[in-house]
Amino acid sequence: MSPCVAAYELQSGGDQCTIPIEVRIALNDLNRQLITYESVSEAQLGQLTDALRHRRVVALTGAGCSTESGIPDYRGPGTRRRARNPVQYREFVSDAMARKRYWARSVVGWPRLSQALPNAAHRALAVMEQSGIVRGLITQNVDRLHHAAGSNHIVELHGALAEVRCLTCGAIEPRDSVQKRLLALNPGWHEQRAELAPDGDAELPTESIERFRVAACQACAGILKPDVVFFGESVPREVVVDAWRLFDEGDALLVIGSSLAVFSGYRFVRRAAERNMFLAIVNIGPTRGDSLAHLRVSGRAGEVLSRLVERCLGPGCRIDFGDRSGNPVVPR
């Protein structure tokens, strides 16, 4: 929906805030699922609100945005306990056993990832986009939970697990369809019990993987690969172009739930610093970009963003939309 449609205005002569029904519904959903964690200070929230309320915000989200939906991350709290080596791109494309290992584990992990629901952080960002506070999202996540929450302007930096691509002919097949074919080739495999790992992976014993059968492309019998960027693989050029185009729409960058250890995300923080854009980071634990940030808030994404929405869409916070093209006119 257009930011103009979602804009709210303070009624003249009073402080009652009129918010469109779409945004009110999203706010109600947000409040119902908000879980109380260790509180972020009011001073920090006040600083974040004041810094973002009159800026054009672009959000960069990482795995920490989805952990509250039950999806593990690679570098957050507890990572050391479940330390693991994800499959590398070169290994996947060159080694049949590596592909067998990946798909055997993915068949077990996919149902839980595909059934995950958006959490308070995803819904808060959707509300912020609908109300014109956020211009769009650049996400490092591959779970499509931002889409499920209602966000529209999204660049998926690392692709999405919901689709599978043939490395030979380029054909795309839905991941759910591949799941059915893999289970048909491996009866009873869904009964495997394993700990869920990041990106829909799961931990399985090596001996059980050896008997797993891998599905091929239905069009050309080529190698199938999830349509995501593996470790050691480059982000497609067209995706990078889309991400920079969205980045250029903002004058503030809000990083949520990312350690910024991977350069594909860290590059946007570096560019923000070069341009002296306002940079805020919301994350549990240190990040690679902390020394470049104007504001650093340590806390769970769901709590911080939910309270930020309440402040930005409450009385006293006004965003004017005077551009007939649908682009917000933000007071400076």
Per CATH, the number for 3-70+117-159+236-312 is 3.40.50.1220
| Rounded distance between C-alpha atoms, residue 257 and residue 278, angstroms | 17
Model pLDDT, residue 41: 82
| 191 or 112, which is more confident | 112
Can 158 be counted among the known catalytic residues? yes
Residues near 84 by beta carbon (within 8 Å), at least 6 away in sequence: 197, 203
For range 186-190, the mean pLDDT: 86
Give the pLDDT score at 203. 58
Judged against a pLDDT cut of 60, whether residue 224 lies above it is answered with: yes
- Which pLDDT score is estimated for 205? 57
Residue 184 has pLDDT above 70, yes or no: yes
Written as six digits, the tokens of 18 are: 């009129």
Window from 99-103, 114-118, 138-142, 188-192 with minimum mean pLDDT: 188-192
pLDDT value for 190: 74
What pLDDT is stored for residue 39 in this prediction? Answer: 59
Q: Say what the pTM is.
A: 0.79
More confident residue, 12 or 159: 159
Q: Where are the domains of the chain?
A: 3-70+117-159+236-312, 89-115+161-228
pLDDT for the residue numbered 193: 64
Helix 120-130 to helix 21-33 angle (10° resolution) is 160
Q: Out of 56-70, 198-212, 308-322, which region has the weakest mean confidence (pLDDT)?
A: 308-322
- Residue with structure tokens 């692709």? 159
Does residue 328 or residue 63 have the better pLDDT?
63
Do 284 and 62 meet the contact criterion of CB atoms below 8 Å apart? no
**Cα angle at 41 between 36 and 42, to 5 degrees?**
100
* pLDDT band with cut points at 50, 70 and 90 for residue 194: low
Closest by CA to 94, choosing from 189, 193, 233, is 233
Place of tokens 């709210």: 8
User: Does residue 223 contact residue 99 with C-beta atoms inside 8 Å?
Assistant: yes
Question: Residue 227: which H helix or E strand, with range?
Answer: strand 224-228
pLDDT of residue 188: 86
More confident residue, 327 or 119: 119
Q: What is the DSSP letter of 88?
A: B
Query: Tokens at residue 86, please?
Result: 């994800």
Tokens of 323: 């551009």
Structure tokens belonging to residue 246: 């969205």
Q: Of 122, 146, 147, 158, which residue is the catalytic one?
A: 158
| Listed range (3-7, 78-82, 91-95, 274-278) with the worst mean pLDDT | 3-7
The strand pairing partners of 165, in sequence order, are 172, 225
Give the architecture-level CATH label for domain 89-115+161-228: 2-Layer Sandwich (3.30)
Reference 108, options 207, 8, 38, 208; nearest CA is 208
pLDDT at 189: 84
Instruction: Give first-to-last CA distance, the chain, whole Å.
Output: 24
Alpha helical stretches, state H, 70-165 = 89-94, 96-114, 120-130, 145-149
**In angstroms, rounded to a whole number, what is the distance separating the alpha carbons of residues 211 and 76?**
33
pLDDT tens sequence across 122-151: 999 999 999 999 999 999 999 999 999 999
pLDDT band at 40 (very low <50, low <70, confident <90, very high): confident
Q: What is the DSSP string of 167-226?
A: TTT--EEEHHHHHHHHHHHSTTGGG----EEGGGEE---HHHHTT------TTT---EEE
Burial of 78 (0-12, 13-18, 19+ CB in 10 A): exposed
* Residue 253: predicted pLDDT: 98
